[in-house]
């Protein structure tokens, strides 16, 4: 691996996470400047020479109290453009959480397919490759981009977390809706390897219209007297997971874990997730859970560090000379 040919940047507020990734690779973050102007415009540029370099930008595209998701998207796009103008050979964006990936199809007349529009923006600014983690719909993500993409999965890290907790425990992996069955099955298979025992998969019926979850709380699969792991790609309000957890407890489940790679978390999640139907909430550090209360974080939330996974992905790309 030629480290002199590769530079790693991490934009705020992903800098702390980016530093962990760079350290796992055996490197350091390159210096850059982010400057805000009073009227809301901003400037972002590298403070090191990027000519003839392969650049990796680590930036999780989620909204927070300081910057909206649109602010962040605009910043990373401008940064990509500036790097290309400065002579960078390639620019690879590492977006552990990719904004707008949930809006990947038309559900009503004249609906936008925003995931595709975001892809076009990255392509227009000269992005050579985009890497993300546990995107909402893998096939839609891959189809949206005309540049090479890589989809990483945190399921092995999550399975490693649960392995010591589930010894001699009957476990069921549950998808909170039919759209997540493939994700649940893939995680169950990974967990089976860790547990060396078959892990059944269940699914709950869910429908959504105008952002409101409906339908009967019906579980397809046996959860009575079992430990249930409800797995999803992200948690926002927590309503879907709580609804599934309550249905599991009513069906006789002994313990219910809610697991998601991305803790997007809205403010209302603090009230939703404190419900006793959820015994534990497990997320990764792809997004810092800034809106969750300290009390909830200490009592119910465990965080899995996926910086080594991102580091491995970048290291593999650095060793790959074909772009």
| Residues with active-site annotation | 206
In this structure, the strands spanning 201-204 and 171-175 are parallel
Q: Which long-range contacts (CB under 8 A, 24 or more apart) does 192-200 make?
A: 193/159, 194/159, 194/160, 194/162, 194/163, 195/163, 195/166, 195/167, 195/171, 199/171, 199/172, 199/173, 200/172, 200/173
Q: How far apart are CA 195 and CA 214, in angstroms?
A: 35
φ and ψ of 144, to 5 deg = -70, -30
- 267 CB neighbour count, 10 Å cutoff: 11
**CA-derived radius of gyration, the chain:** 20
**Residue 218 token pair:** 């019906």
Residues 6+ apart with CB under 8 A from 307: 17, 20, 21, 24, 285
Residue 149 near residue 115, CB atoms below 8 Å: no
**Residue 316 token pair:** 């593999």
């Amino acid at each position: 691996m030629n480290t002199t040919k590769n530079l790693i940047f991490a934009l705020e507020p992903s800098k702390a996470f980016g530093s962990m990734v760079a350290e796992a690779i055996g490197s350091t973050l390159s210096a850059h400047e982010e400057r805000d102007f009073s009227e809301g415009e901003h400037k972002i540029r590298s403070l090191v020479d990027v000519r003839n370099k392969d650049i990796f930008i680590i930036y999780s595209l989620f909204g927070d109290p300081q910057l909206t998701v649109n602010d962040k998207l605009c910043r990373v796009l401008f940064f990509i453009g500036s790097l290309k103008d400065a002579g960078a050979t390639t620019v690879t964006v590492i977006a552990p959480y990719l904004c707008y990936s949930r809006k990947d199809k038309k559900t009503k007349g004249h609906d936008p397919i925003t995931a595709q529009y975001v892809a076009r923006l990255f392509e227009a600014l000269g992005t050579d490759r985009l890497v993300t983690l546990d995107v909402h719909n893998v096939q839609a993500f891959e189809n949206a981009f005309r540049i090479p993409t890589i989809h990483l999965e945190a399921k092995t890290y999550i399975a490693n977390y649960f392995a010591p907790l589930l010894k001699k425990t009957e476990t069921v992996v549950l998808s909170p809706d039919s759209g997540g069955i493939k994700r649940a099955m893939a995680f169950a298979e990974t967990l089976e390897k860790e547990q060396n025992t078959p892990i059944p998969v269940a699914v709950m019926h869910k429908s959504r219209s105008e952002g409101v979850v409906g339908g009967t709380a019906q579980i397809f699969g046996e959860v009575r007297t079992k430990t249930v792991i409800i797995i999803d790609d992200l948690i926002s309000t927590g309503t879907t997971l709580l609804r599934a957890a309550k249905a599991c407890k009513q069906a006789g489940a002994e313990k219910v874990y809610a697991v998601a790679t991305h803790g997007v978390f809205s403010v209302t999640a603090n009230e939703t997730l404190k419900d006793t139907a959820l015994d534990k909430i497990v997320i990764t550090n792809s997004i810092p859970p800034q809106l969750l209360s300290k009390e909830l974080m200490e009592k119910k939330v465990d965080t899995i560090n996926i910086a080594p996974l991102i580091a491995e992905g970048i290291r593999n790309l650095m060793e790959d000379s074909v772009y």
